[in-house]
Amino acid sequence: MKPVILIFTHYYVPGYKAGGPLRSIENLCSRLAEHFDFLILTSDRDIGDSAPYPQIDTGLWVSLHPSVKVMYLPHSRWRVMQFAKALRGVHYDLMYLNSFFDMEFTQAALFARSLGLIERSPVILAPRGEFSAGALSQKRLKKTVFIALVRWLQLYKKLTWQASTELEAQDIQRNLALSDGSDGRVVIGGNISVAADIVPNRRVKTHIRQVQKGDAGVRVCFLSRISKKKNLAGALDILKGVKVQTTFSIYGPIEDEAYWASCQAAIAKLPPNISVVYCGQLAHAEVVEALAAHDVFLFPTKGENYGHVIHEALTAGLVLLISQETPWRLLAEKHIGWDLPLAALSEFSNRIDDYATWTLEHRASAADAARNYAADVADSSLPILANIEMFNTALKNRNWH
């Protein structure tokens, strides 16, 4: 029999607004189904929604795949007891948590486990980039207090932390002071396993727009949740310095209404050569096709532990213009775009102006390079093997809990 992995995650399919973390879990379950069975406990609604998904049975195990069963739970203040009821008589070998700061689906699961209401299996926690400088800069005081409280309660003692990259491992180490106690640092327990996020294995053929005589315009797009961390405001600052005719399409759910209002004010002040369109939300199945109607993906994010949307933009054949706060680096050497410091606004702007001068052949070559690189990432067995090893190591070390 395959080991059973129990996943706690606030949002899962058919939701899509939560973005990358949701995609990480979906891809993990899809591509590791030969090795593990998965049980998923999640909310019955998408992020920000007041109503549950239509035609979803709550409180029952639903098979999405021969190796994947999901239980959608209604909103409740008593998640601990919900989990205890849902898992009564259910066997699993390992708990897999997503998010450090999630009170409902991480802390509640750990409380239920510590109280003996659910099985005390080994635990892996994936913080999904929550310890990056950009992420911690949002609601800093609240997060600092929470980290101190967690250290005191020792809820996170002796578990495995998943980092998507070595940089994220350093963020976890720096902010939580993980240690075996030999050097005097605070011990909140565990070890760090570096296992990159897994992407879907697919190829999409896109077409480059025919450049007409006198057409120097550039189609730029942004796709993410509209929040401070994703930095749409920074993208608008970049566009202030762009000289060529540019259409800027914004896709994504409005997570922060006040932030969106400030972005709208900035849009109203952009020069006349910049045309901005808010295109609303996209279901995941629509993403690559929508992106493929553009030339450049502008994403000056303040921090990503992986960045699934970046891979989707490459799959669509877009040239990347992103910050250096992601694992996607050295893009110019790969001829697929640029990763630039967030402070270098004029350099971002100049890249868009430069793109307007590219010939059709140059654009087609860059699009091919982007699609090929996306395919190479998807074809790589290294993330899959690293995730399998992470799970198997945690399963073998059952005394590490």
Burial of 401 (0-12, 13-18, 19+ CB in 10 A): middle
Q: Does one domain contain both 260 and 344?
A: yes
In a domain, 401, yes or no: no
Same domain, 50 and 123: yes
pLDDT of residue 315: 95
23 found inside a domain: yes
- Which pLDDT does position 178 carry in this prediction? 54
pTM: 0.86
- Report which of 132, 77, 66, 70 is spatially closest to residue 101, judged by C-alpha positions: 132
CATH number at 195 reads 3.40.50.2000
Q: Are residues 167 and 270 in the same domain?
A: no
In a domain, 304, yes or no: yes
pLDDT of residue 191: 85
Q: Could you tell me if 370 and 390 lie in one domain?
A: no
Q: Pick the closest to residue 107 from 4, 229, 6, 10 (CA basis).
A: 10
β-strands 61-65, 68-73 pairing: antiparallel
258, part of any domain: yes
pLDDT reported for residue 187: 39
Mutual angle of helices 20-31 and 308-315, in 10-degree steps? 70
Between 232-240 and 257-268, two packed helices, what is the crossing angle to 10 degrees?
10
209 domain-assigned: no
- Do residues 326 and 229 touch, judged by C-beta distance below 8 A? no
**Is 111:102 a contact under the CB 8 Å cutoff?**
no
Task: Give the whole-angstrom CA distance, residue 127 versus residue 115.
Answer: 23
3-state secondary structure the chain: CCCEEEEECCCCCCCCCCCHHHHHHHHHHHHCCCCCEEEEEEECCCCCCCCCCCCCCECCEEEEECCEEEEEECCCCCHHHHHHHHCCCCCCCEEEEECCCCHHHHHHHHHHHHCCCCCCCCEEEECCCCCCHHHHCCCHHHHHHHHHHHHHHCCCCCCEEEECCHHHHHHHHHHHCCCCCCCCCCCCCCEEEECCCCCCCCCCCCCCCCCCCCCCCEEEEEECCECCCCCHHHHHHHHHCCCCCEEEEEECCECCHHHHHHHHHHHHCCCCCEEEEEEECCCHHHHHHHHCCCCEEEECCCCCCCCHHHHHHHHCCCEEEEECCCCCCCHHHHCCEEEECCCCHHHHHHHHHHHHCCCHHHHHHHHHHHHHHHHHHHHCCHHHHHHHHHHHHHHHCCCCC
- Structurally, how many domains does the chain consist of? 2
Burial class (CB in 10 A: 0-12, 13-18, 19+), 23: buried
Each residue's pLDDT expressed in tens, for the chain with a length of 401 residues: 899 999 999 999 999 888 888 989 999 999 999 999 999 999 999 988 889 999 898 999 999 989 999 999 999 889 999 999 999 999 999 999 999 999 999 999 999 998 999 999 999 999 988 888 888 888 889 988 888 887 777 767 778 999 998 989 988 888 886 544 444 343 345 688 999 888 887 655 555 444 444 455 899 999 999 999 999 999 999 999 999 999 999 999 998 999 999 999 999 999 999 999 999 999 888 999 999 999 999 999 998 989 999 999 999 999 999 999 999 999 999 999 999 999 999 999 999 999 999 999 999 999 999 999 999 999 999 999 999 999 999 998 765 44
Nearest to 316 by CA among 281, 367, 279: 367
Q: Which domain holds residue 94?
A: 4-199+380-396
Please give the pLDDT value at position 206.
Answer: 52
Amino acid found at 158: K
Q: Are residues 125 and 258 in the same domain?
A: no
- Is residue 321 a part of any domain in this protein? yes
Residues 353 and 385 in one domain: no
Is residue 231 located within the same domain as residue 371?
yes
Q: Are residues 322 and 351 in the same domain?
A: yes
Note whether 369 and 243 are same-domain residues: yes
Query: Quick one: 120 and 192 in the same domain?
Result: yes
Residues 254 and 157 in one domain: no
Query: What pLDDT is recorded for position 1?
Result: 87
Quote the CA–CA distance of 289 and 287 in Å, as a whole number: 6
What is the model's pLDDT at position 212? Answer: 43
pLDDT at 215: 56
Rounded CA-CA distance 170/383 in Å is 19
Examine residue 87 and state whether it is found in any structural domain, yes or no: yes
Residue 206 lies in a domain: no
Check residue 400 and give its pLDDT.
46
Are 24 and 102 part of one and the same domain? yes
